[in-house]
């Protein structure tokens, strides 16, 4: 069931409206991709909070621009740059990699893609490589169980 600004999961009620709207958007996309509701909500909430950390509220950059303090200027340009690149950054939130079970072992795949980056005989080998990729590319690695459920994630 798709959610909207008026009808959303109860677990999202305490999120700031801006973060909640992003979480709803992500959760709906995950539902479209075939994720279960519970998983969609959990992933979307975490990703929306991460997005919020990386995308300051535009109003604060507006108040920075009216400030006479020289210290606010670097912050202003950095948040302005982020705001202009938001669509790219939003799609970057899908740069996660996943360690997933396959018919013949384990694989690492990019989020939203069907092809595997690499395959392994064991989960341990796949997780080790995912840790390296996560650190090198500064992306999150999401580790799944044999049944496909998310077990953990590795944040660089």
pLDDT for the residue numbered 58:
62
Ramachandran bin of 112, using left for φ above 0, alpha for ψ from -120 to 50, beta for the remaining angles = left
- What per-residue confidence (pLDDT) applies to 108? 95
Q: In what order do the strands lie in the sheet with 150-154?
A: 116-120, 105-110, 97-102, 141-144, 150-154
The model carries a pTM of: 0.44
Predicted confidence at residue 67, as pLDDT, reads: 42
The answer to whether the CB of 2 falls within 8 A of the CB of 9 is no
Rounded distance, CA 64 to CA 82, Å? 15
Angstrom CA distances, 119 to 96, 105, 107, 151, stand at 17, 7, 4, 19
User: Tell me: the pLDDT tens digits for 57-72?
Assistant: 665 444 444 444 444 4
Residue 59, pLDDT score? 54
Residue 23's CB is within 10 A of a number of other CB atoms, namely 27
Q: What is the pLDDT of residue 148?
A: 83
Residues of the chain with pLDDT under 70: 1, 57-94
């Amino acid at each position: 069931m798709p959610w909207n600004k008026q009808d959303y999961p109860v677990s999202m009620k305490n999120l700031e409206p801006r973060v909640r709207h992003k979480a709803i958007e992500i959760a709906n996309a995950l539902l479209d991709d075939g994720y279960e509701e519970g998983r969609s909500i959990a992933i979307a909430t975490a990703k929306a909070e991460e997005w919020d950390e990386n995308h300051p509220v535009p109003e604060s950059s507006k108040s920075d621009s009216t400030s006479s303090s020289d210290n606010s200027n670097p912050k202003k340009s950095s948040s302005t740059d982020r705001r202009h690149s938001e669509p790219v950054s939003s799609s970057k939130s899908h740069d996660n990699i996943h360690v997933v079970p396959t018919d013949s072992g384990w694989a690492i795949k990019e989020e939203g893609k069907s092809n595997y980056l690499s395959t392994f005989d064991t989960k341990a080998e796949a997780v080790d490589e995912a840790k390296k990729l996560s650190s090198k590319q500064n992306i999150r690695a999401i580790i799944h169980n044999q049944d496909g459920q998310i077990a953990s994630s590795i944040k660089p």
